[in-house]
């Protein structure tokens, strides 16, 4: 949670907004009642940060939350509970591209590794996963059920789930 007036200060001071979107799924159950609607409106204000030109980095905060990034991706693009029955300040939801960038390029930037991590390009580390669905086109609820089929580290296969391989 941040005061709306402080969001531009992040950019001015060069501060990275590092957040874990999966926290929204649990915090949305109590945040507005405890913080009040005006303060709660700027909890998990991802779009407001991006609109202000603030670098955004996402992570999972495991073991506090489940390790899967798909839960956080779902939260970032829907701002809805996992049942799809409650929305939390939808004006701050992100596009799928923005959320995936925060998990990849944003996190690489936050660890000062943006010149070698965060995207697939010549000279980069080539750490990536293959998933069992197209995260850009599936129904948003299906993001929650995405499974990693293969993991590559430095361009070499490090994991293959033969049970989900097609």
- The pLDDT tens digits of the residues spanning 143-163 come to 999 999 999 999 999 999 987
C-alpha pair distances (Å), 59 with each of 72, 73, 90, 130, 137: 8, 10, 20, 18, 22
Average pLDDT, the chain: 95
CA atoms within 13 A on the CB side of 65: 18
Nearest to 72, CA basis, from 63, 84, 59:
59
Neighbour tally for 130: CB within 10 Å: 15
Segments of the chain scoring below 50 in pLDDT: 165
**Per-residue pLDDT at 164:** 54
**Per-residue pLDDT at 141:** 97
Report the relative pairing of strands 56-58 and 17-19 from DSSP bridges: parallel
């Amino acid at each position: 949670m941040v005061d709306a007036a402080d969001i531009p200060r992040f950019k001015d001071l060069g501060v990275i907004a590092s957040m874990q979107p999966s926290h929204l799924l649990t915090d949305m159950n109590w945040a507005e009642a405890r913080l009040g609607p005006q303060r709660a409106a700027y909890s998990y204000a991802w779009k407001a940060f991006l609109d202000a030109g603030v670098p955004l980095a996402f992570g999972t905060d495991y073991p506090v939350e489940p390790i899967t990034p798909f839960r956080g991706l779902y939260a970032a693009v829907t701002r809805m509970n996992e049942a799809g029955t409650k929305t939390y300040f939808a004006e701050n939801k992100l596009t799928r591209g923005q959320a995936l960038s925060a998990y990849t390029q944003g996190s690489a930037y936050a660890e000062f590794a943006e010149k070698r991590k965060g995207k697939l390009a010549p000279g980069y580390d080539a750490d990536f996963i293959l998933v069992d669905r197209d995260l850009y086109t599936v129904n948003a609820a299906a993001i929650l059920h995405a499974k990693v089929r293969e993991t590559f580290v430095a361009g070499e296969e490090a994991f293959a789930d033969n049970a989900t391989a097609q």
